[in-house]
Amino acid sequence: MKVSIIQREIQISEADTIVVNLFDDVTTPSGATGAVDLALDGAISELIASGDLTGKMGEVGVLYPRGAMAATRVLVVGLGKRDGFDLEGVRQAAANGIKQAHKLKAKNVATIVHGAGVGGLDVTAAAQATVEGSLLATYRFAATRQEPEPPHEIESLTIVEFDGSKLAAIEAGSIQAQAIAAGVTIARDLVNMPPNVATPTKIADTAVTIANDHNLKLIVGDRAWAAERNMGGFLAVAKGAGEPPKFIVLEHNAEREDLDTIVLVGKGITFDTGGISIKPSANMEAMKSDMGGAAAVLGAMKVVGAMNLPLRVIGIAPCTENMPDANAYRPADVITASNGITIEIISTDAEGRMVLADGLVYAAKYNPKAVIDLATLTGSCVVALGKGMAAGLFSTDDSLRDKLVDAGTAVHERVWPMPLWDDYKEAIQSDVADIKNSGGRFGGVATSAMFLRQFTSYPWAHLDIAGMALTDKGNALTPRGGTGYGVRLLVEFLRK
């Protein structure tokens, strides 16, 4: 969908569908909505008076001008209550409007910037949220199936603004939104792909494209490369894999050591059978999403490159399958990670922390100001916080923790702080190694974080995104399937 900006009165737009808005306390429309109401001889006011148009969030009223305007239809999206209206409200309203337009087979949509007028929001931020909500809501995965006819697509979205002094701010917000949506799309696509397509090699190929598009430095390490660096955890999981493993490193501003360095590490298990500790067959197909952390890191790196953020940002994605095989690692094996820590294997299904261990050790070479890892790590996190609600956040640095909480709130990709007490280490003590890779069922979300902490030597945050990378319900901004969770959160954190 092509996005453009034009200075014009919305009621004279040549688009087939125009979108305006309404708070739930409005009795007489004003601004752009009032101008459209006047052009329609008070039709919007009549619907408000009759109670057929309430302005509540989620509502989309449809009016047909019948020649009074060039547009075929007018959509009035509800903004809900004025008190507390924020950028998430903008994203939701934009998403509701564009989805209704799509349902009505619109081709060219014109919209005002929601929230930038009587809503009182910053113009650039509101424009970004308007475009972001529209683009995220219209995402569609190009599934490998036969269609009776090509799926309908909206061809263009035009942001219409009467005040010329606001155009530059709107343009800036629109550019940011398009970069972010492109990053989210990559993450969603990778999670939605079948695991025989989204292999470690495919993810590496995606990294190559990102690097080429945005002038990023790229390393794609194979088994031999990882062996040279003593990455015992990563290689142990990869032992049973039929697909070649790839240890991916993307670097933005690679040579700028004078800049603050932030490292992002994403778990990249492209399919998780559980290995020798094999999972039940029911719902195992969802384990194609076990590389959601790596997908988010790649998506975020694309946005970082497109925005050319004034930071040195490193994205690390250790990618492999976890498969049962004659060569696969076993319970009771003892593995040595790249920092020399020995690990007793209790469950081969606790594989994500094994690959992350070597990723976190590798991150130290960049002397980072902070390291953030993302992983669909434990079912315990879903039990604790609920599916699709929030990621569990563990951190060794209170400032880093607070900044991530604020970033998650701003973009509605929420995180919730969890305890990282030293007491949790007792559960992963081993009689035959330094630590073991599973502390059992109770406190599993925290003991897994404590395991990872043993491989950090810098301010660090761990995001357990289990239950966030894949949705079977969808919502206004996210269709069913891969959510792209983490991309917008990371970008917001890095921008601020």
- Three-state DSSP state, 268: strand
Q: How far apart are CA 163 and CA 20, in angstroms?
A: 16
46-70: average pLDDT: 96
Name the pairing type of β-strands 391-395 and 470-471: unpaired
Token pair 């990053």: residue: 183
- Cβ atoms of residues 272 and 291 within 8 Å: no
Per-residue pLDDT band at 151 (split at 50, 70, 90): confident
Rounded to 5 degrees, φ, ψ at 463 are: -110, 110
| pLDDT score of 143 | 79
Count, residues in the chain: 496
399-419: average pLDDT: 98
| pLDDT score of 441 | 81
Q: How far apart are CA 157 and CA 2, in angstroms?
A: 6
Residue at 373: amino acid letter: D
- Cβ atoms of residues 434 and 343 within 8 Å: yes
The mean pLDDT value of the chain amounts to 96
CA dihedral (269, 273, 279, 285) in degrees, to 10, reads 90
- Cβ atoms of residues 314 and 263 within 8 Å: yes
Q: Over the stretch 203-247, which tens digit does the pLDDT of each residue have?
A: 999 999 999 999 999 999 999 999 999 999 999 999 999 999 999
Token pair 């408000």: residue: 48
Catalytic residues: 279, 353
CA 269 to chain centre: 17
Q: Does residue 15 register a pLDDT over 80?
A: yes
182-199: average pLDDT: 98
Sheet with 17-23, edge to edge strand ranges: 2-7, 156-161, 108-111, 17-23, 73-80, 60-63
DSSP 158-208: EEEES-GGGHHHHHHHHHHHHHHHHHHHHHHHHHHS-TTTS-HHHHHHHHH
Run of H or E including 33: helix 31-39
Torsion 280-286-288-294 (CA) sign: negative
Q: Over the stretch 238-259, which tens digit does the pLDDT of each residue have?
A: 999 999 999 999 999 999 999 9
Q: Over the stretch 295-345, which tens digit does the pLDDT of each residue have?
A: 999 999 999 999 999 999 999 999 999 999 999 999 999 999 999 999 999
Query: 108: how many CB neighbours lie within 10 A of its CB?
Result: 20
DSSP 119: T
Q: How far apart are CA 156 and CA 192, in angstroms?
A: 25
Per-residue pLDDT band at 111 (split at 50, 70, 90): very high
Q: Does residue 146 register a pLDDT over 80?
A: no
This prediction has a pTM of: 0.96
Q: Over the stretch 274-299, which tens digit does the pLDDT of each residue have?
A: 999 999 999 999 999 999 999 999 99
- Cβ atoms of residues 299 and 231 within 8 Å: no
DSSP 453-481: HTT--SSEEEEE-TTTSEESS--SS--SE
